[in-house]
């Protein structure tokens, strides 16, 4: 827990920085930008220019999934390992599929089926995988900072697929990709992230990506699920969805993560739903073209009503589709950076 807190602390130092996406976006056209990172650990470290570069690259990968041969060759002969110490279906499948579509070989590695259950440490596991010639490690771990630690210890590229309550960069990238696809730009948009903020790495990565690209972010949730440092972040905080819903262009509904909730953060599921659920009634007060997002998996009827999740404002399945393109872009870019970095 101490480690988690210290990472959250470090976030706050950057919190006061103003996003400067307009000027960055303008300089992009002038000079040749070159991607140089062989790891993707978090969006807090990335500039707006780098984030936009990933999003622009992802556009070129979108059509691979729609044509007759759903495969392109840039990672041919490369090995990608999905190193998941926490359960995941969507992210793991998405990374696996993204890697296969780029012609990489994919090795699945889960905690249950591995020597980790026999007591092997993270670094030993990773070094063993590396000795077998793995080129890219996609890691999900319940300890914040695990991907960073890994990136310092091995030569392979490391992509963070979620660490503790710290970051889930590719989820945030697909979120901003989807918003950009629908609205052209994030500049000046008002975005609410609603739910269990304190246990959400998605909320943290979203916040970095969205503010860097010029959006105004409001975190919404009960005080018991709002992180203590929220007031020091470059965001607004609200404890009432009703106050916020009429003003926002995008609402991102987080899943209530029962597996992470300790104690009694709210009196009952029904009460949470009444105050923070995205209902048909609340949607009637929202802007007609509001985008409804959810990182999945959905608890229907809890944080979001079925009619809203399946409604015309919902871009939830676009998010999943775009996730593939974004992950292909990230795999491609880190591999390119590694190819051009002399070891």
Task: List interacting residues with other proteins (CB under 8 A).
Answer: 32, 34-35, 53, 56-57, 59-63, 67-69, 71-74, 102, 329, 332-333, 335-337, 339-340, 342
CA gap 202, 311 in Å, rounded:
23
- Which is nearer to other proteins, 280 or 339 (by Cβ)? 339
The answer to whether 126 and 101 are in contact (CB under 8 A) is no
Q: Count H helices and E strands in the chain, helices first.
A: 13, 10
- Which is nearer to other proteins, 53 or 177 (by Cβ)? 53
- In angstroms and rounded to an integer, the radius of gyration of the C-alpha atoms of the chain is 20
Closest distance of CB 61 from other proteins, Å: 7
- Which is nearer to other proteins, 54 or 235 (by Cβ)? 54
SS3 state of residue 206:
helix
Closest distance of CB 39 from other proteins, Å: 16
Closest distance of CB 245 from other proteins, Å: 35
Residue pointed to by tokens 């998405």: 94
Closest distance of CB 201 from other proteins, Å: 27
Q: Is the peptide bond before 285 cis (omega within 30 degrees of 0)?
A: no
- Which is nearer to other proteins, 149 or 338 (by Cβ)? 338
- Which is nearer to other proteins, 263 or 342 (by Cβ)? 342
- Which is nearer to other proteins, 28 or 127 (by Cβ)? 28
Closest distance of CB 125 from other proteins, Å: 26
CA gap 90, 98 in Å, rounded:
12
- Which is nearer to other proteins, 47 or 128 (by Cβ)? 47
Report in angstroms the alpha-carbon separations of 54 from 15, 36, 172: 23, 12, 12
318 by Cβ neighbours in 10 Å (0-12 / 13-18 / 19+) ranks as middle
- Angle (CA) 175 242 279, round 5°: 65
Closest distance of CB 113 from other proteins, Å: 31
Closest distance of CB 37 from other proteins, Å: 11
CA gap 35, 12 in Å, rounded:
26
Report in angstroms the alpha-carbon separations of 96 from 153, 331, 337: 23, 11, 20
């Amino acid at each position: 827990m101490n480690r988690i807190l210290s990472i959250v602390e470090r976030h706050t130092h950057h919190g006061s920085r103003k996003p400067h996406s307009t000027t960055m976006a303008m300089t992009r056209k002038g000079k040749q930008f070159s991607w140089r990172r062989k790891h993707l650990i978090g969006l807090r470290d990335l500039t707006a220019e780098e984030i936009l570069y990933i999003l622009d690259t992802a556009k070129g990968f979108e059509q691979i999934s729609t044509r007759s041969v759903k495969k392109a060759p840039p990672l041919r002969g490369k090995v990608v390992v999905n190193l998941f110490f926490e359960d995941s279906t969507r992210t793991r499948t998405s990374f696996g599929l993204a890697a296969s579509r780029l012609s990489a070989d994919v090795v699945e590695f889960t905690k249950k089926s591995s020597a980790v259950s026999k007591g092997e440490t993270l670094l030993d596991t990773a070094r063993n995988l590396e000795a077998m010639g793995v080129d890219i490690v996609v890691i999900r771990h319940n300890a914040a900072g695990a991907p960073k630690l890994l990136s310092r210890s091995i030569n392979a590229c490391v992509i963070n697929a979620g660490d503790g309550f710290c970051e889930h960069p590719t989820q945030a990238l697909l979120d901003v990709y989807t918003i950009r696809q629908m609205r052209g730009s994030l500049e000046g948009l008002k975005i609410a992230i609603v739910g269990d903020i304190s246990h959400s790495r998605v909320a943290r990565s979203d916040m970095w990506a969205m503010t860097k690209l010029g959006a105004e972010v409001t975190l919404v949730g009960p005080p018991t699920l709002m992180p203590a440092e929220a007031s020091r972040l470059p965001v607004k905080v609200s404890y009432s969805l009703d106050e916020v819903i009429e003003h926002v262009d995008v609402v991102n509904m987080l899943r209530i993560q029962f597996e992470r909730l300790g104690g009694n953060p709210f009196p009952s599921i029904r009460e949470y739903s009444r105050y923070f659920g995205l209902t048909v009634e609340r949607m009637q007060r929202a802007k007609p073209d509001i985008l409804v997002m959810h990182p999945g998996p959905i608890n229907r009827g809890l944080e979001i009503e079925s009619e809203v999740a399946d409604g015309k404002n919902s871009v939830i399945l676009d998010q999943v589709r775009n996730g593939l393109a974004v992950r292909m872009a990230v795999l491609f870019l880190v591999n390119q950076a590694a190819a051009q970095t002399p070891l």
